[in-house]
Structure 1
């Protein structure tokens, strides 16, 4: 009976679908818990992401010392490239022409000043010696006869001073106008200042420049006599001459710095952030001018053959080349200041400065 029961049990198990005896069976999977019902009411708003700390807006460097070192290298490369692309060699030649055009009216003013305030004939002969070195023989003889005759008459010198000053202002203003156009080309801006504003500005700047150049010339020509007279007055005697001969060079350098600062500030049709008495471009330009003048003087005195090539015009050629070098140095200083301003704007987060400086014009050009 027991055996029969086992068989019947196995048969019944097979009918029920039970697995054969002895086979392993995996336990049934555990039932997954039912998902919790969503809470009643509106769903809560997602948490706002934590804001990243805001980056402070970059400020333009205040000066060249604030520019990164690699920025200086990029600035010098752009300045050299812009010097060629802006055609500053041609602009320097134009400025040289206007320099010569205004030179002789300025000499008339200087000689008249010497005739009124200086000692004749020693100081006048010093000025005429300079004229003989830079002018052709016939021109020098003409100037010598006319200037010497007028300066002997004190009253004539005073009248000559007024006439020569007006002539020099009008002639030298051509140089100021040409420099303004060259500066606009460097800054890549159009001239928008109207004639009624631009022409008086040119004459005013020219008047200031004439006074400063006259101070330079008087410092060269009259420094000894003036210093000796002042030394005798205050009891220093000849010591005042020695002191002035040393101190006059820093004074003349300061006058040159003021002249360049005035030109570079009022020249271009842009609003500068502020007036600077000395800019990196002005310092570099003066340094280049000094070094180039020394080098060119050495070359002309020892290696050049200007007198053999040009004869009596050798001194004129040397003087013209020196004027051209001086204007090249001045314009390169302006180009360097432009690229320094561009670098300051780029480092302040203004990428559009790579294409155009972000300086407002003084007067927008008419459309």
Structure 2
């Protein structure tokens, strides 16, 4: 149960209630350190970690069928060379001891046991991945609502309809950005090995993929922050601060996670399941980064509306907010 103070919708305010300065000036006036501290409090008491784990599970369930469907679709369309690029890329970014398991999973979507079976694999993979991603973005709405202090999600049809639309738009941009940054280098190497496109083209790819990936991530995260919560959000400039935090935190933590996977040698502990554990860890990092950015955007708007305290009042310190406690003064201290 979230115990954070609800964030007023500042788009409904006017006159003296609403500060006219922009997001950056508000952040500088209150201090970035203070905003980050109070945003973490809002994230924690808004059950951000729990909702990040739920989002991560759904995201992980979407990744595997998406990879199978992607490789199978390339094979079904007659692009066996591109299917090989997909296989090489996925194997390259997986922990070493998981190579055979990952290759078997990818090959299951590109096997030549009849075109009918290949079409079924592609169709089932795409549908499964889309449904899992839709469920993940529906979970993201719930987490964002709790962080903003919104007690109820959208009605079921609106909630999952909105999540499906976000999957088809922001989700595609998010996947593109993640692939360009996380798998960009092995993807370029795989293309060079399969298509022989030359060192100059590979160098150009390594330079271009970073700004393109960053742009795709910022666009996707900003769209998620704008349309996932059940509320009328402020202008994009106010959400860009949280989106920037999400992208930077995700890049930093993902880099540290990659180092951990390499030097901790997960294969010694988990064997062929090392890739699964690495995927779960990465998905959890992604969920935490997304909801942490939401918390910062929410706290920045709360400060703008004159509600700097992220928590509901609890005068008797019994763990129950005063507005939910029937007898706050008589409760034991």
Match of 2:108, SS state, is helix
For residues 163-312 of structure 1, the aligned pairs below 5 Å read 163-212=124-173, 215-216=176-177, 217=179, 220=184, 223=188, 239-276=200-237, 279-302=240-263, 304=264, 306-312=266-272
Q: 1:298 to 1:67 in 2, by over 3 A?
A: closer
1:129 is aligned to 2:91: yes
Work out the CA distance in 2 between the residues paired with 1:189 and 1:286.
25
The Cα of 1:316 is off from its aligned counterpart by 2.7
Residue aligning to 2:68: 108
TM-score w.r.t. length of structure 2: 0.72
Q: 1:88 aligns with which of 35, 45, 48?
A: 48
The Cα of 1:212 is off from its aligned counterpart by 2.9
The 8 Å contact of residues 145 and 152 in structure 2, kept in 1 or not, is answered as: yes
| More helix by percentage | 2
Residue aligning to 1:17: none
The Cα of 1:310 is off from its aligned counterpart by 2.9
Larger Rg over CA atoms: 1
The Cα of 1:134 is off from its aligned counterpart by 9.0
Q: Which structure has more RCO (C-alpha within 8 Å, separation ≥ 6)?
A: 2
Match of 1:270, SS state, is coil
Match of 1:269, SS state, is coil
TM-score w.r.t. length of structure 1: 0.66
Residue aligning to 1:74: 34
Match of 2:173, SS state, is helix
The 8 Å contact of residues 154 and 230 in structure 2, kept in 1 or not, is answered as: yes
The Cα of 1:320 is off from its aligned counterpart by 1.8
Figure out how many residues of one structure are paired with residues of the other and give that number.
Answer: 291
The 8 Å contact of residues 261 and 278 in structure 1, kept in 2 or not, is answered as: yes
Match of 1:189, SS state, is coil
Runs of 4+ in 1 over 6 A off after TM superposition: 134-138, 152-156, 224-232, 352-356
The Cα of 1:254 is off from its aligned counterpart by 1.1
Q: 1:229 to 1:193 in 2, by over 3 A?
A: same
Match of 2:152, SS state, is coil
The Cα of 1:180 is off from its aligned counterpart by 0.6
Work out the CA distance in 2 between the residues paired with 1:228 and 1:138.
20
Residue aligning to 2:320: none
The Cα of 1:300 is off from its aligned counterpart by 3.2
Q: 1:159 to 1:213 in 2, by over 3 A?
A: farther
Work out the CA distance in 1 between the residues paired with 2:168 and 2:111.
26
Q: Deviations over 1:94-113 (max 9, x none)?
A: 11111111112211232134
Q: 1:321 aligns with which of 257, 278, 281?
A: 281
Report the RMSD for the aligned CA atoms in angstroms: 3.7
Match of 1:119, SS state, is helix
Q: 1:253 to 1:223 in 2, by over 3 A?
A: same
Q: 1:177 to 1:262 in 2, by over 3 A?
A: same
Residue aligning to 1:336: 296
The 8 Å contact of residues 171 and 220 in structure 2, kept in 1 or not, is answered as: no
Q: Deviations over 1:244-283 (max 9, x none)?
A: 2210111111111122112111111010123459611111
5+ long unaligned stretches in structure 2:
1-14, 313-333
Residue aligning to 1:20: none
